[in-house]
Homo-oligomer: A and B are copies of this chain.
Amino acid sequence: MTERREFKNLISPERAHETIASLDIDPGTETVPLRAARGRVLAERIDATLDVPGFDRASMDGYAVRARDTFGADEADPVTLSLAGAVHAGESPSVTVESGTCAEISTGAVMPPGADAVVIVERTEMTDDEDIEVGTSVAPGDSVMAAGADIAAGARAIGPGTTITPREIGLLAAVGCESIPVQERPHVGIVSTGDELVRPGEELDSGRGQIYDVNSDTIAAGVEEAGGKPVLYPHAGDDYAEMERLLRQAADECDLVLSSGSTSASAVDVIYQVIEDRGELLVHGVSVKPGKPMLIGRMDRSDGGTAAYIGLPGYPVSALSIFRTFVAPAIREAAGLAAAAAPTTTATMATVERYTEGRTRLLPVGLVEDATGALLAYPVDKGSGATTSLVEADGIVTVDASTSYLDSGERVTVELFSAAVRPPSLFGVGEDDPALNRLLDRLDHPRYLPVGSREGSRRLRNGVPDVAVVAGPTQHDLAAEPIGEWSREWGLLVPEGNPDDVTGIDSLVKNELRFVNREQNSGLRTSLANAIAEYADENETERHTVVESIDGFDFGVKAFESPARRVLAGTADVGVGLRETAERLGLGFVSLGTQPVVVLANPDRLSKPGVESFETAIANAGELFDSLAGYEK
């Protein structure tokens, strides 16, 4: 058999961090226009090259005066000055303020010669003779900003390492900077390996086991978020010579090369070969779960330099976890961005999590708020091959190798997948339903996991989700509180025109029809099972005899539309489903009844705003249920 690489000399996560820190991925500096500099990091100190303001400037609207002319003046005994002229912002003063005179002046205007203070307009009156009565005394410099008072030529304006935000842009604009030297973004090459990967947008051949390349775009977005510049290389498929060429090209063009996506041993072999041939493999295997097969090394460049290399695991959640924990900090560091920028939050574990493997564990968790707004964290455990885990988890809890379990109620630090992560307003689980999908669209960022009615009920009992949606004749949990209910018509979906003349369960039993069912947790399947039991009673036979005579009864598919899609595609003759689905997809429909769909709330979460909003949304959705065939409320 093909040689399988073993990861025997696993190093600790700390050593992996140190090894990555020892790699040189510093990209140097570049000059960018000020207007494009937001988020960049200043590479050199910038000193002001001019005084700001460049002239003595009125800081209020009023009258420019010689301060000593006003000494002793007050409201009861004002001083009268003759008006010698006016100075507006953007004008050269054409008037000189002699003793006994003043000049009207606008905020921002140049102080006219002779004047050394401004009396604000509110403390003056114009006489009938158009003289100015000043009802206060001012000191030299009052309401005047001296030239260079804001920042003087030669003064340090902003230091190296400063992240440019709107404020820094303001100061740099004030000193007339058009462009500034910034830390270059490290170029991070992403080489997607693995025979089975196809780029999104291209044709997928599922029969050959092809799947879309998830990691390239995910990691590219992560690189951007960390301040790097992702460079995606074309996918080489199973052409290993091409893959080798791409790896070498990436090393020549980038500061850091990431390989991502490979689950095939032969692709890993090519990577090993290229790096051992033209570089050095420093680490193969890290004692962390997930992420054990992580590689760290160095690749020689054609120009005599080296590029850093990190190999990420293939599963998307593993790849993103490893990227976030080990790679993103190194990119941020190279980009000059603060090491502290990784967003974290603290939460309470909602369930017990046991673990005994003796490796550091990066545990993906979802976050949910309780009724008081306190954050609970729960493990997201679908196996790291599931891409949906990506959006079901909000971050990672790092569990030490020596920790064998996290207790329910324990405080944990969650490293968020990104700064934009916020907990869902509503966390629901349960049946998959088209009306529900539309209701969820009316809520502000809900999270809903369509795990089926049975699994949904079970999870609600465990106290983590806010609500469970349960369809069909399922026994409801008595501790839960119904906050909404509707019914949906279900039955058998057949091709348009019903070519096999399906009339009901009898047709499935008696004819040679390829049937497709829903999965075991689905309320649709439960209703079908009940209908079969009834049919068996009526026909005085055993339930299992009926089931065995239906070709495909045990083959369950996941979503409410999945059986319909198989009928449409011609890979099944009959499927279980909803009238709504049949009408929308143009299929025939044989009704077998209606079933209730009930939304059950965790009694502790009834006052949570998201739960209240959901209850209101259901109550106000009459028009939605009216618009869906077979639905009633």
Q: Which of A72-80, A204-212, A407-415 contacts B (4 or more CB under 8 A)?
A: A204-212
Contact of A90 among B160, B238, B559 (CB under 8 A): B238
Which of A90, A159, A168 has the largest count of B CB atoms less than 10 A from its CB? A90
Is residue A59 within 8 Å, beta carbon to beta carbon, of the partner chain?
yes
Nearest residue, chain B, Cβ from A261 = B108
**Prevailing SS type, chain A contact patch:** loop
Contacts known (A51-B562, A155-B450); A145 close to B214, Cβ less than 8 A: no
Given that A206-B54, A211-B108, A420-B163 are contacting pairs, would A390 and B218 also be in contact in the complex, using a CB cutoff of 8 Å? no
When distances are taken between beta carbons in the complex, the residues of chain B under 8 Å from A388 are: 52, 150-151, 171
* Minimum C-beta distance from A616 to chain B (A): 17
| A386 close to B (CB within 8 Å) | yes
Number of chain A interface residues as a range: 35 or more
- Asked if A539 is at the interface (CB within 8 A of a chain B CB), the reply is no
CB distance from A55 to the nearest CB of B (A): 5
For residue A153, CB closer than 8 A to chain B, the reply is: yes
Q: Tell me the residues in window 49-68 of chain A with beta carbons closer than 8 Å to chain B beta carbons.
A: 50-55, 57, 59, 61
**Known: A61-B4, A149-B558. Is A55-B209 also a contact (CB below 8 A)?**
yes
- Minimum CB distance partner of A221 in chain B: B166
Q: Is the CB of A445 within 8 A of B165?
A: no
Known A-B contacts A38-B221, A176-B200, A217-B173; the reply to A55 vs B155 at CB < 8 A is: no
B contact residues around A209 at 8 Å (CB): 55, 57, 87, 89-92, 108-110
Q: Is A169 interfacial (CB 8 A cutoff)?
A: yes
Residues on B with beta carbons closer than 8 Å to the beta carbon of A156: 437, 440, 448, 450
- Taking a contact as CB atoms under 8 Å apart, the answer to whether A391 and B171 are in contact is yes
Is A184 an interface residue, CB under 8 A from the partner?
A: no
CA distance A340 to B209 in the complex (A): 43
Of all chain B residues, the one with the shortest Cβ separation from A51 is: B562
**Quick check: A165 and B91 within 8 Å, CB to CB?**
no
CA distance A383 to B60 in the complex (A): 11
Bound Cα distance from A34 to B213, whole angstroms: 13
Interface residue from B90, B225, B422 paired with A210 (Cβ < 8 Å) = B90
* Interface segment out of the listed A262-270, A527-535, A592-600: A262-270
Given the complex, which residues of B lie within 8 Å of A90, measured CB to CB? 194-197, 208-210, 237-238, 264
Cβ–Cβ < 8 Å partners of A419 in chain B: 419
Minimum CB distance partner of A558 in chain B: B152
Q: A160-B441, A418-B166 are in contact. Are A171 and B390 (CB under 8 A)?
A: yes
Query: Interface readout for A231-253 with B: 1 if CB under 8 Å, 0 if not?
Result: 01000011000000000000000
Q: Which residues of A contact B (CB under 8 A)?
A: 1-2, 4, 34-35, 38-39, 45, 47-48, 50-55, 57, 59, 61, 86-92, 104, 106-110, 121, 126, 145-156, 158-163, 165-178, 194-197, 200-201, 204, 206-222, 224-225, 232, 237-238, 263-266, 314, 316, 320, 338, 340-341, 382-383, 385-388, 390-391, 393, 417-422, 432, 437, 440-441, 443-446, 448, 450, 557-562, 564-565, 581
